[in-house]
Amino acid sequence: MLRFGTDGVRGVANAELTPELALALGRAAARVLGGDRCAIGRDTRLSGPLLESALAAGLAAEGVAVTLLGVVPTPEVAWWSATEGAPAAVVSASHNPFPDNGIKLFAAGGRKLADEVEENIEHELLALLAGDGRGAPRRPIPTGARVGRVAVSPGAPHAGYAASVAASLGGRRLDGLTAVVDCANGSASAVAPGVLRDLGVDVSVIHAAPDGANINDGCGSTHLGDLARAVTARGADLGIAFDGDADRVMLVDAAGAVVDGDHIIAICAIDRHERGALPGGAVVVTVMTNLGFRLAMDKRGIRVVETAVGDRYVLEALEAGGLALGGEQSGHVIFRDLATTGDGLLTAVQALDALVRSGRPLAALAADAMTRLPQVLRGVRLAERDPSLVDRLAPAIAAVEDRLGPHGRVLVRPSGTEPVIRVMAEAPTESEAEAAVADLVSALDALVPSRDPAS
């Protein structure tokens, strides 16, 4: 059975993530999360309505009234949950390929589930699937008028969410910018271009014609080639690329160069710090964030809080420290004072706001914010997992770190899902980073001679 990962349940639709599993997950979620209402949104995948229907049936079978939001960005579902004070779910596999799908749950208030809540749902789900009685409902099975209703959301889709994103600028506008927007043939297609146009951006749109199978297909935040070419061909100021469910965003400058999540966070952190709008004078990033980011923040007196990989860990650190801004290199950025989760459209609007007020081109603003150090990453596949391997490699890691000094960095970590050790090094030059990784892989060879490089 699929288990909760860092971002819900995800797998190949109708093979690993089946309608039977979705139905049982709906029942389990209703029993654990409680409440009498829940909303479901989805992305543009062909399998979306299939899994949405099954999930809704499971919730309704427990007496929950279900509102179907249709195709909406994941952040819009979180916004609904925060606004309505009720749980919500998203049927989406985010940036994954089209055959995959997933189910992500939000607790009432638009927050991702705590580990212990996910564990409770998993326990209930396993009991339901086993059919052994351990999943007995905590209330009588609803019948008659107590069965949950399933209804399509009334009113204008996206209106409230779009207004909340625009309101984050406090009345400022983005007039004068020209941008190409890549919607990844996903959830951003129906809402992002309109919000940006309403704020004054001269928008051209690509990959905003979803057909159920073309989501993330050679487009969006993980495939920036089309966007870069469109920006340079049009002579636009920048490009904006969302992923399939629009919780991530990447930018390209006027020359088509990538401005990734590290640069976006750096731009927004510096802008907020200069305006006195960065609580705690700190920003939260993961261990994968480039060393150049850390050096740039140190230069400006901005403290960097580091977490494990995963936006949920970023959010936990933001909440624990009373901080406002954090995110990942992938473009998953959280403005905790403006939203309850990562939001690609909100992030784009915030970054463009800083750009307009700076009066500078995006390339100059990004270059001034931080200088990316060359980064080399290799995966070393093992015959089996060995939890002690990183500790045994400690002397070799220390030797490489001593050689690189304060302007280099090494990260060696096991994969959370497969028998792979990921070896990463950053250094002032590509050759130094390559040499550091090669030395560590050689040290791994000495410890595990039978290893093979991961593809």
Residue 94 falls in the annotated catalytic set: yes
Which residue type occupies 306?
A: E
Within a 13 Å sphere around the CA of 220, how many CA atoms are in the beta-carbon half?
31
**Which positions ≥6 away from 20 have C-beta within 8 Å?**
54, 129
Measuring CA to CA, which residue among 171, 294, 243 is closest to residue 7? 243
For every residue of 230-292, DSSP letters joined together read HHHHHT-SEEEEE-TTSS-EEEEETT--EE-HHHHHHHHHHHHHHTT-SGGGEEEEETTS-HH
CB atoms within 10 A of CB 3: 11
Q: How far apart are CA 424 and CA 376, in angstroms?
A: 6
Q: What are phi and psi of 242, to 5 degrees?
A: -100, 165
CB 236 within 8 A of CB 254: yes
Which residue type occupies 255?
A: A
| Cβ burial, residue 36 (10 Å; 0-12/13-18/19+) | exposed
Q: How far apart are CA 129 and CA 2, in angstroms?
A: 12
Q: Where are the alpha helices (DSSP H) in 13-140?
A: 19-33, 48-61, 74-84, 115-130
CB 285 within 8 A of CB 311: no
The active-site residue, picked from 81, 94, 187, 221, is 94
Q: If residue 67 lies in a helix (H) or strand (E), which one and from where to where?
A: strand 65-71
Residue-wise over 392-427: b if at least 16 C-beta within 10 A, else e?
Answer: ebeebbeebeeebeeebbbebebeeeebbbbbbbbb
List, by residue number, the catalytic residues. Answer: 94
